[in-house]
Amino acid sequence: MNEQAKQFKFVGTRPIRPDGVDKVTGRAMYGADLTLPGMLEGKVVRSPHAHARIKSIDTSKAEALNGVKSVVTAADMPEAESKPVAAGEAMINFRDLAENVIARHKVFYEGQTVAAVAATSNEIAERAAALIEVEYEVLPHVIDVLDAMKDDAPVLHDHIFTGGVTPKPEKPSNVANRVEFALGDIDAGFAAADIVIERKFTTEPVHQAYIEPHAVVADMGPDGKADVWCSSQGHFMVRSFCAGLLKIEMSKIKVSAAEIGGGFGGKTTVYLEPLAIMLSRKAGRPVRMVMSREEIFRASGPTSGAAMTIKIGATKDGRITAGDATLCLQAGAFPGSPVGPAAMTAFAPYDLENVRVVGFDVVSNRPKVVAYRAPGAPISEYAVESVVDELASELGLDPIEFRAKNGAKEGTQAAYGVKFGTIGMQETLEAAKATEHYKIPLGPNQGRGVATGFWFNIGGESCAGIRINEDGSVSLTEGSPDIGGSRASMAIMAAEVLGIDVAKIKPSVVDTDATGYHFVTGGSRVTFATGMAVVDASKAAIDELRARAAKIWDVDVDGVVWEDGHAKPASTNVGDFEPMSLAEIAAIANKTGGPISGHADINAKGAGPGFGTHICDVEVDPDTGFVTVLRYTAVQDVGRAIHPSYVEGQLQGGAAQGIGWALNEAYMYDEDGKLENAGFLDYRVPVASDLPMIDTILVEIPNPTHPFGVRGVGEVPIIPPLAAVNNAVAAATGVRFTALPLSPPAILAGTGAGD
C-alpha cells in the first residue's frame, strides 16, 4: 500500500478542508441561516392521532389573524396517482410522497402534517397554527411490525395488496411487498450441517439524529419561478420532488444547497420544501420553515425496526452449509422499508452455497422510514453476525478465523446476484486479527465481540466543471452537498490530475441552474462518482491546456504532454520548447482561444463493494446492567483514502452511531400510538463521554474501476457495531441477547440479576 501511495503527490494527504474556517468561525450558512427581505415564518399543524380520517379542516380563524399571510392544506397540492414515477433517476410514488408532505384524507401517524401557515413572525404563525380546526374520526392503529402483519390488524391503506406473491391477494393488508433472494438448496445445506442455530431477533427503529434540523427558505415570484435554499443531501432531489409534487417545470425551480449539519440518509427526501413553496406562492413573499427537534422525531423518518428469524448451519470443522433468514421490516406509514437491501446484504459477507432470504415490507402507524447509512444492512447483518458468532463459539473456533474460513473473496457468488470482483473482506479480517486490541487480556465482567459488515456502495450521476482562472487558480464546481468532507477530496483529486498545488483549487457545490443533475449524496457515492467526474473534467481541461500550448508552439497537439502541472514537448522530435505552466498558459488564454475549462457529466459505474471488521470490548456491571464500551477498533477496506482524516472520521462516526443503536436508542410509544420520547433527553444517542476513542485501520484494496481506487466508505462502518456490541455483551455475561437496544434494564432482565 505504501508503494502505491508513493505514486501520488496529493492523494492520501491531509490538507485543511476548504469549508473548515467557515464552519469553526460560524460563518457557514446552514439551512435556517438565510434571511430575505419580507420573509415570513412558516409553521406546520400536525396530527395528534396515530390513525384517523380527516373529516374537515377549517382554516378561517387562522386566516383572519392579523399577520397571517397564507395557509395551505392538501387542497393546495395537485392530486397524484399512486404509481412509481421517475423523479430524476429515482423511482418515486408521488401519491405517498404527497401524503407524507401533507395529509389529504387520512392521517397515518402522530405528527403527520395536515396544514401549514406563514405569518410575519414565529409567534403569530404558532398562534395561527393553533387556530386551525381539524375534525378527526379516530381509527384503530397499529405500531408493532408483527402486529401489523396479523389478519385482524387495522389496515392503513385499502389499495395495498401484498406485492411479490402469486396469486395477488384478495384482501388489502399492511404487508406491502415480499422479496426473496436464494442460492443453492438450503434443505440440502442444513442436512449436511453438524450444528444448526436458529434465533429470533428484534431491533428498534432508530433516527439519524442529525444535529441540524430540516430547514428551508422558499421564494416564488409572481411569474411562477421559485428559488429554494435548503439543507439536504441532494438539491437536485429537492428540485425533482418539488417539481413532481407541485407540477412545476424543473427549470422554474432553482435549489441552492446550504451547508448541511448531518444527514446520514435522513435528508434524502422532502418534508418542508414543497410546503414552503406553496406558502410562498400564496403569500407572494419568501417563507422560512424550520423543524423543532420534537417535530423531527415525530414526523421525519427513522430507519426501520424489525423482527427477524435467522437459521444457520455449519459442519464441525467450521464450514457454513446453509443460511436462512426471514426479515420483517417496518416501513412506517407508507411502503418502502429497506427490506430489499437488508435481504441482499444479510449473508453477503460470506461465500455460501445455500442461502435463502425472505423479506416483508410492512406499513404501520409510524413516521415513514427514510434512508439511514447502509439502509437495512445493519439490521439484517446484526442478526446474522450474532448467529455466526454463536456458531463460532459453539464450535470452539476463533470468531475471526471462522469468518475468514467462510468469508467472501474475489469470485464469490453472492445470493443477491453479483459475483464479487476485487474485494477486501479477507484483508480486513487479517488486519483485525493482527491488532494489539485483539490480544489485550480481559478482566472480570468484560467481553470482546467481533463482527463484519458488507455494503454495495453505488455510483450514479455526477457532473464537474474545472475552470482555469486567468491567474492560474482553479474553480471547481460540482453539485453533491458536502456532508463528509467531499470538497476537500474533490480538490485533492483535481490537484493530483492537474499537477498543481491543492491550495490553488477552490471547490464549490453549486446550485441546480449551474451544473447538471446529480443523484443524492448517499450510497457512499460522492468521492467515487463525483470524484470520477472531477477527474474526467480535469483531464478535459488538460486536453485544452495541451491544445493551447500546441497552438503557442505551433505544433500538433499529440506532440504536447502534461506533466507536473506543465505542458511539455512529448519528445525532442517535437522541438525545443520551455515547458509552460498552467498559470503561464492561463495568463495568455485570451490570445489562444479564450477561457479554458473542462467538464464532465457522467453516470459512474463500477462502485467497489465495501467490507469492514470491528472489534469491541465491553464491561457489563452485573448489578445494574450498565454496559461500558472499553475499546473499539474499526477496520475497513476503503479502496483508497483520498483524505485519510475524513475517511477515519466516517469510520468513527459510523461506529458511534452503531453503538448507540446497539445500546440505548429506541422509539417509545404509548397506548394511543403517540411517541413518548421525542427529544434527545430520552432518545439516547451516545454522548462523547459514552465512547472510547474509536481506533481505525484503513485497509486499501484499490477499486480497479476508479482512477485512484476509491471505494465508498460512509456506510459500511455503521453495519458491524450492532453485532460487535451484542457479541461482546454475550462474551461478558454468558447470555446471548436477541433484542436491541441492550439498555441496562434489558441486560439485567436478561441475565436474571434483576429478579
Partner 1 sequence: MSGMRYEAPGSVDEAVTLLADEKGVARVLAGGTDLLVQMRAGMISPDLVVDIKKIAETKGITANGGGFSIGASVSGAEMGEHAELTAAWPGVVEGAELIGSTQVQGRATMAGNLCNASPAADSVPALIAAGATCTVAGPNGQREVPVEDIPTGPGKTSLGNGEFVVDIKLPARPAHAGDAYLRMIPRTEMDIAIVGAGVNLVLDDSGTCTEACVVLGAVGPTTITVADAAAALVGSKVDEAALAAVSAAASAAASPINDKRGTVEYRTKVAGVLASRAAAIAADRARSK
Interface residues with partner 1 (CB under 8 A) are 123-124, 127, 294, 623-626, 663-664, 668, 676-677, 680-682, 684, 686-687, 689-690, 743-745, 748-749, 753-754
By C-beta, is 129 or 258 nearer to partner 1?
Answer: 129
Phi, psi of 506 (to 5 degrees): -110, 110
By C-beta, is 7 or 66 nearer to partner 1?
Answer: 66
By C-beta, is 349 or 686 nearer to partner 1?
Answer: 686
Residues making up the chain, counted from first to last: 755
CA distance 482 to 496: 20
The minimum distance between CB 45 and partner 1, in angstroms, equals: 15
Long-range contacts of 687-693 (CB under 8 A, 24+ apart): 690/629, 690/659, 690/663, 691/629, 691/632, 691/656, 691/659, 692/629, 692/630, 692/631, 692/632, 693/632
CA distance 114 to 133: 10
The minimum distance between CB 411 and partner 1, in angstroms, equals: 45
The minimum distance between CB 43 and partner 1, in angstroms, equals: 12
CA distance 412 to 351: 6
Asked if 479 contacts 516 with a C-beta cutoff of 8 angstroms, the reply is yes
By C-beta, is 367 or 625 nearer to partner 1?
Answer: 625
The minimum distance between CB 744 and partner 1, in angstroms, equals: 6
Q: Which three cell numbers stand for residue 299?
A: 414526523
Question: Radius of gyration of the chain from Cα atoms?
Answer: 27
The minimum distance between CB 754 and partner 1, in angstroms, equals: 5
Burial of 587 (0-12, 13-18, 19+ CB in 10 A): middle
The minimum distance between CB 422 and partner 1, in angstroms, equals: 41
The minimum distance between CB 661 and partner 1, in angstroms, equals: 14
The minimum distance between CB 686 and partner 1, in angstroms, equals: 7
Asked if 277 contacts 226 with a C-beta cutoff of 8 angstroms, the reply is yes
By C-beta, is 379 or 746 nearer to partner 1?
Answer: 746
Q: What does the H/E/C string look like for 404-460?
A: HHHECCCCCECCCCCECCCCCHHHHHHHHHCCCHHHCCCCCCEEEEEEEEEECCCCE
Angle between helices 273-283 and 235-246 (to 10 degrees): 60
Asked if 701 contacts 694 with a C-beta cutoff of 8 angstroms, the reply is no
Phi, psi of 43 (to 5 degrees): -135, 155
By C-beta, is 329 or 627 nearer to partner 1?
Answer: 627
By C-beta, is 608 or 686 nearer to partner 1?
Answer: 686
Stated as kind and residue range, the H or E segment containing 343 is: helix 339-345
CA distances from 262 to 97, 268, 481, 651 (A): 22, 11, 11, 15
Phi, psi of 544 (to 5 degrees): -70, -40
The minimum distance between CB 699 and partner 1, in angstroms, equals: 31
Convert 373-404 to b/e letters by CB count within 10 Å (16 or more is b). Answer: bbbbbbbbbbbbbbbbbbbbbeeebebbebbb
CA distances from 350 to 34, 127, 174, 260, 612 (A): 49, 57, 32, 36, 13
Burial of 87 (0-12, 13-18, 19+ CB in 10 A): buried
By C-beta, is 20 or 754 nearer to partner 1?
Answer: 754
By C-beta, is 205 or 375 nearer to partner 1?
Answer: 205
By C-beta, is 206 or 509 nearer to partner 1?
Answer: 206
CA distance 344 to 181: 7
By C-beta, is 92 or 124 nearer to partner 1?
Answer: 124
Strand positions, DSSP E, 638-692? none
Phi, psi of 428 (to 5 degrees): -70, -35
* Residue 493, number of CB atoms within 10 A of its CB: 32
By C-beta, is 294 or 672 nearer to partner 1?
Answer: 294
CA distance 80 to 95: 5
By C-beta, is 127 or 409 nearer to partner 1?
Answer: 127
The minimum distance between CB 54 and partner 1, in angstroms, equals: 24
* Strand-strand pairing, 460-468 and 596-604: antiparallel
The minimum distance between CB 748 and partner 1, in angstroms, equals: 6
The minimum distance between CB 687 and partner 1, in angstroms, equals: 5
The minimum distance between CB 127 and partner 1, in angstroms, equals: 7
By C-beta, is 618 or 663 nearer to partner 1?
Answer: 663
The minimum distance between CB 289 and partner 1, in angstroms, equals: 18
The minimum distance between CB 653 and partner 1, in angstroms, equals: 18
Asked if 114 contacts 73 with a C-beta cutoff of 8 angstroms, the reply is yes
By C-beta, is 303 or 664 nearer to partner 1?
Answer: 664
CA distance 517 to 89: 9
By C-beta, is 50 or 74 nearer to partner 1?
Answer: 50
The minimum distance between CB 712 and partner 1, in angstroms, equals: 31
Terminal alpha carbon distance of the chain: 54
Asked if 55 contacts 302 with a C-beta cutoff of 8 angstroms, the reply is no
CA distance 339 to 376: 6
Asked if 98 contacts 104 with a C-beta cutoff of 8 angstroms, the reply is yes
**DSSP state for residue 686 in the 8-state scheme:** P
Q: Which of 373, 296, 330, 306 is nearest to 680 (CA)?
A: 296
The minimum distance between CB 677 and partner 1, in angstroms, equals: 6
* Residue 610, number of CB atoms within 10 A of its CB: 30
By C-beta, is 124 or 362 nearer to partner 1?
Answer: 124
The minimum distance between CB 750 and partner 1, in angstroms, equals: 12
By C-beta, is 243 or 629 nearer to partner 1?
Answer: 629
